[in-house]
Structure 1
Amino acid sequence: MGRPREFSDEHIYYGVYQSLCKKGFAQTTLADIANEIGVSPAALIKRFSSKKGIFLAYSNYVIQLTEAKFNEADQSDAPPIEALKSVYKEAVRLGNDPVSLARHTSFYLESTTDPDLLEISRHRLAIIDAGTRRLLSKAVRDKSIQACDIELVSTVLQSAIGGALLIWIRDAGKTLDALIDDCFRVIIGPLRIGGNEHANDD
């Protein structure tokens, strides 16, 4: 009998990601994930117990990545607003096309009926909000933007980018990067010191 195939957590989570992009949350099964990474469903059940278990683990992994990206932005030599914009642009590159992104996003929408998955999703959103506020506050201290209601600006910016994703899913006439640039231009632009709302736009 051959030795059981070894596979890392990262490899498993990539299989989850691929399955979500192809089928969405409701239609993804443990068998789908197992097929993506070349293991048996039984191996996944042994490690995670259930579909919910693997999605909880995947959510925790995404949270770790989110925290890491904001920490990198905090320590970056780039202007805080540009560092923040880069975090958002990298985050939305989960889907290479509107259909894949819509299917992946279904995980955050359809899993809200489960209290445990909903709670971990809320935790991720809290991390995004906290990271956004930190970088906005840093931009105020650096005098690259005016003093403002950081909580409100963070909420509006996140809402605008979330809306941009929905627009892109329905009509990919612009790239996601361009839509995010638009969000920053309209929301952050008027706050820039000197009123240079086009400063550092890509």
Structure 2
Amino acid sequence: MSPRPRTTSDSTILDAVTRVISRVGPARMTLADVAGEAGHSPAGLVQRFGSKRGLLLAVARQRAGEVRGAFAMARAWQPSPLEAMFEVLAGFVAHADTPEALAHHLGFTQVELDDAEFHAAAFESARTMLGGIRVLLDQAVEAGELAACDAESVARTVQTTYNGALVTWAVYRQGTLGDWLRGEIEAVLEPWLPPLGTDGEPDEAE
């Protein structure tokens, strides 16, 4: 007898986990919460992922693939390398658009730093993000959006700024998180940005 087909994909369930984390955080999240959000049964979640920890670990591992996919697609819909970078980075935190939701996801970061398996997934996500930023910075230099720079070093600065900006936005709570991220990253890129003309647009290279 063939096994019953899965009516809910893993991706759908893991997206539901992300939404539940946004509302209540990883510590308070229950399998019942996820089951209700995903339209699945708690028993089915246990059968598929083994436990709440297994479910959270699957989310952590999925993130690395999502980071890779986001950067791979970036230039397909955004011709400007810098704009692609801003949009990709803002997209990573689209699910944390309130200080409360962001705090809950930062709670997940604590788990990633405290557990070896979670840390391995977090490390892979961070390394993939760094590589994606570096490629877009290289392309921005080629496109004349940035002056020549050490893209590896600047990419690390951008990544560090990105992570720090999440916390500072949650404290200051000014504007949207996406706008805050953009402003902070533009500030660290300023030494390599072309000067603006009187019309507010970058001066054309002579």
Question: TM-score by structure 1 length?
Answer: 0.87
Are 2:97 and 2:177, in contact at CA under 8 Å, matched by a contact in 1?
Answer: no
| CA distance in 1 between partners of 2:176 and 2:130 (Å) | 24
* Residues 63-72 or 73-82, more deviating: 73-82
Q: Distance in 1 between matches of 2:29 and 2:157?
A: 32
The answer to whether residue 196 in structure 2 is matched with residue 196 in structure 1 is yes
Give, in angstroms, the shift of residue 190 of structure 1: 2.1
1:32, CA displacement in angstroms?
2.1
State the partner residue of 2:102. Answer: 101
Alignment of 1:132-171 (within 5 A): 132-171=133-172
**Cα distance in structure 2, aligned partners of 1:26 and 1:176:** 24
Residues 186 and 14 (structure 1), Cα distance of their counterparts in 2 relative to 1, 3 Å cut: same
Aligned 1:45-60 pairs, distance under 5 A: 45-60=46-61
> Aligned equivalents of 1:38 and 1:92: distance in 2?
24
Q: Tell me how large the CA RMSD over aligned residues is.
A: 2.2
Amino acid at match of 2:148: A
In the alignment, structure 2 segments of 5+ residues that lack a partner are: none
| Corresponding residue for residue 29 of structure 2 | 28
Compared with structure 1, are the counterparts of its residues 73 and 45 closer, same or farther at alpha carbon in structure 2 (3 Å cutoff)?
same
The 1:60–1:110 alpha-carbon spacing in structure 2 relative to 1, beyond 3 Å, is closer
Q: Deviations over 1:89-125 (max 9, x none)?
A: 1112112311012102211222322111110011000
Equivalent in the alignment of 2:87: 86
Give % identity.
30
CA distance in 1, matches of 2:44, 2:5: 9
Q: What code does the residue aligned with 1:53 have? A: G
Q: Which runs of 4+ in 1 moved over 6 A?
A: none
Q: TM-score of the superposition, structure 2-length normalised?
A: 0.86
Q: Could you list the runs of 5+ residues in structure 1 that have no partner in the other structure?
A: none
What is the number of residues matched between the two proteins?
197
CA-to-aligned-CA distance 1:31-53 (integer Å, 9 cap, x gap): 22122223221111101112222
Distance of 1:36 and 1:82 partners within structure 2? 33
Q: Which amino acid aligns with 1:22?
A: R
Cα deviation, 1:99-155, whole Å, max 9, x if unaligned, reads: 012102211222322111110011000010000000001112223211112122111
1:125 corresponds in structure 2 to 126
